Amino acid sequence: MLARVAMGDREAFAALYRATSAKLFGVCLRVLIERAEAEEAVQEIYIKIWRNADRYAAGGYSPMTWLITIARNHAIDRLRKRRAMIIRGEAGGGTDGDGGSVLDRMADDAPGAEAQMIAQGDARRITGCLGELEPDRSEAVQRAYLSGETYADLAAHFNVPLNTMRTWLRRSLLKLKECLSR
């Protein structure tokens, strides 16, 4: 179906929307929490999908992974811009935030990353492997993926130096990868 969308087939695009919009809107809501913003995000995401469907084959992702990844990345971009705007107390675009404690407070306002983690179906494998990590390391991975936290955010949250945070997380990623490959 993505192949037909890439060819500019609007009917295929409509069918793709019907089949996947509830899933991608769910992803936007989980990342952005605010409904109005998630609605804007999901519109932008489908516009991106229409324009970029011809790039799908290049990544080697399964179709659903490709779509969810686009949705997640777009929602995270919006979330980071929103944070950056709030930190600077101004409107206008922002770069990826690097706001230490402010970001940290904001993240704490959002539902916990653990609460957002939904164990069902396919999620079992990653859930199982995250469960093999120490709880704070698994939380760090989830904060990065679902809340778009940077190393600076994570270092502030866990109250460790940035380099330590990175070493820590990279080691956790290797463990995770090893578990996922089993």
Partner 1 sequence: MSAQTPLSDDDRALAGEYVLGLLDEAEVEAFEARLLTDPALRDLVAEWAEAVVPMADGEDVPPPGTTWLNIEQTLFGNEAKSVPFWRKLGIGQAVFGAMAAAGLAFVVINGGLLQPDVPPRSQAPVMRADLAAQIAAEDASLVVAALFDSRTGEMRLNAVAGEMPTARARELWVIAGNSAPQSLGLLEVSGATVVHVPDALRGQMAGAVLAISDEPLGGSPTGAPTGAVLATGPVTAL
Interface with partner 1 in residues 107-136 (CB under 8 A): 116-118, 120-127
- What's the farthest any 2 CA atoms get from each other in the chain? 52
Toward partner 1, which CB reaches closer, 89 or 95?
Answer: 95
87 burial level (CB within 10 Å; 0-12, 13-18, 19+): middle
Contacts with partner 1 by CB under 8 A: the residue count is 72
Instruction: Count how many Cα atoms sit within 13 Å of the Cα of residue 118 in the half-sphere of its side chain.
Output: 8
Q: Among 14, 101, 112, 131, which residue sits at the site for partner 1 (rule: CB under 8 A)?
A: 14
Toward partner 1, which CB reaches closer, 35 or 105?
Answer: 35
Token couple for 151: 């190393």
Position 148, amino acid: G
Q: How far apart are CA 17 and CA 70, in angstroms?
A: 14
Interface positions, 133-152, toward partner 1 (CB under 8 A): 141-142, 144-146, 148, 150-151
Toward partner 1, which CB reaches closer, 24 or 89?
Answer: 24
Interface positions, 50-79, toward partner 1 (CB under 8 A): 50, 54, 59-62, 64-65, 68-69, 71-73, 76
Residue 21 C-beta: closest distance to partner 1, Å:
5
Interface positions, 17-46, toward partner 1 (CB under 8 A): 17-23, 25-27, 29-31, 39, 42-43, 46
Interface positions, 75-114, toward partner 1 (CB under 8 A): 76, 96
DSSP3 helix / strand / coil % (the chain, rounded to 5) = 80, 0, 20
Q: How far apart are CA 55 and CA 176, in angstroms?
A: 29
178 in Cβ contact with 130 (< 8 Å): no
